[in-house]
Chains A and B, each alone.
Chain A
Amino acid sequence: MEQVTPKSSHRVDHRGLAEPDTKAPMIATVAGETAEFDAAGLTPRQINLEARRLLYTEGVTELTIHNPGAQHSIAVGLLTRCRITINGSLGYFGCGLIDGPEIHITGRVGWSVAENMMSGVVVIDKNAGSLTGAALRGGDLVVRGHAGARTGIDQKGGTIIVGGNVGSMTGFMMQRGRQIICGDAGQGLGDSMYDGQLYVGGKVAALGVDCVEAEMTDADHELIDRKFRIYRMDRPDTFRKFVCGKKLWNYDNLEPTERKLVL
Chain B
Amino acid sequence: MCGIAGIIYRGRTGDVGRDMARMLQSMRHRGPDSTGYALYGEPNELTVMRFTLADPTQHRDFDFTERLERNRREVEARLAKLGASVDRVQGESEYAYRATFRYDGELKPLADFVEDVPGAEVLSLGRSLEIVKDLGDARSVAEQYRLDGFRGTHAIGHVRMATESDVDIAGAHPYWAYPFSDVAVVHNGQLTNYHQWRRRLERMGHRFQSECDSEIIAVYIAQRMSDGLSLETAMKQSLDDLDGVFTYLVVTSDQLGVAKDEMAAKPLVLYEADDLVALASEEVAIRAVLNREIDTYDPYEREVLVWSR
Whether B300 lies near A167 (C-beta < 8 A) is yes
Given A4-B134, A7-B140, A70-B283, A127 and B296 touching (CB < 8 A)? yes
Whether B56 lies near A70 (C-beta < 8 A) is no
Whether B267 lies near A129 (C-beta < 8 A) is yes
Shortest beta-carbon distance from B147 to chain A in Å:
14
Residues from chain B with a CB closer than 8 A to the CB of A91 are 282-284
Q: Nearest A residue to B135 by beta-carbon distance? A: A4
Shortest beta-carbon distance from A63 to chain B in Å:
20
Residues from chain B with a CB closer than 8 A to the CB of A8 are 28, 32
Whether B284 lies near A70 (C-beta < 8 A) is yes
Shortest beta-carbon distance from A106 to chain B in Å:
10
Is residue A3 contacting chain B, with contact meaning CB distance below 8 A? yes
Select B140's contact among A6, A127, A149, beta carbons within 8 Å: A6
Whether B269 lies near A6 (C-beta < 8 A) is no
Is residue B234 contacting chain A, with contact meaning CB distance below 8 A? no
Given A7-B137, A70-B287, A91-B283, A148 and B300 touching (CB < 8 A)? yes
Residues from chain B with a CB closer than 8 A to the CB of A149 are 263-265, 300-301
Residues from chain B with a CB closer than 8 A to the CB of A127 are 296-298
Whether B267 lies near A130 (C-beta < 8 A) is yes
Whether A108 lies near B301 (C-beta < 8 A) is no
Whether B297 lies near A108 (C-beta < 8 A) is yes
Is residue A237 contacting chain B, with contact meaning CB distance below 8 A? no
Is residue A186 contacting chain B, with contact meaning CB distance below 8 A? yes
Whether A146 lies near B297 (C-beta < 8 A) is yes
- When chains A and B are docked, how far (Å) is the Cα of A130 from the Cα of B245? 15
- When chains A and B are docked, how far (Å) is the Cα of A150 from the Cα of B262? 12
Residues from chain A with a CB closer than 8 A to the CB of B300 are 148-149, 165, 167-168, 186
Residues from chain A with a CB closer than 8 A to the CB of B265 are 149
- When chains A and B are docked, how far (Å) is the Cα of A169 from the Cα of B261? 13
Chain B residues 91-114 with CB under 8 Å of chain A are 94
Shortest beta-carbon distance from A11 to chain B in Å:
13
Chain A residues 130-154 with CB under 8 Å of chain B are 130, 145-146, 148-150
Whether B282 lies near A4 (C-beta < 8 A) is no
Is residue B60 contacting chain A, with contact meaning CB distance below 8 A? yes
Q: Nearest A residue to B140 by beta-carbon distance? A: A4
Select A6's contact among B136, B144, B264, B295, beta carbons within 8 Å: B136
Chain A interface (Cβ within 8 Å of chain B)? 1-8, 69-72, 88-89, 91-92, 107-108, 110-111, 126-127, 129-130, 145-146, 148-150, 165, 167-169, 186-187
12 chain-A/chain-B pairs, Cβ below 8 angstroms: A4-B134, A5-B136, A70-B287, A107-B295, A108-B296, A110-B269, A129-B269, A146-B297, A148-B264, A150-B264, A168-B263, A187-B262
- Pick the 10 closest A-B CB pairs, nearest first: A4-B136, A70-B283, A149-B264, A6-B32, A6-B137, A148-B298, A168-B301, A127-B297, A167-B300, A129-B298
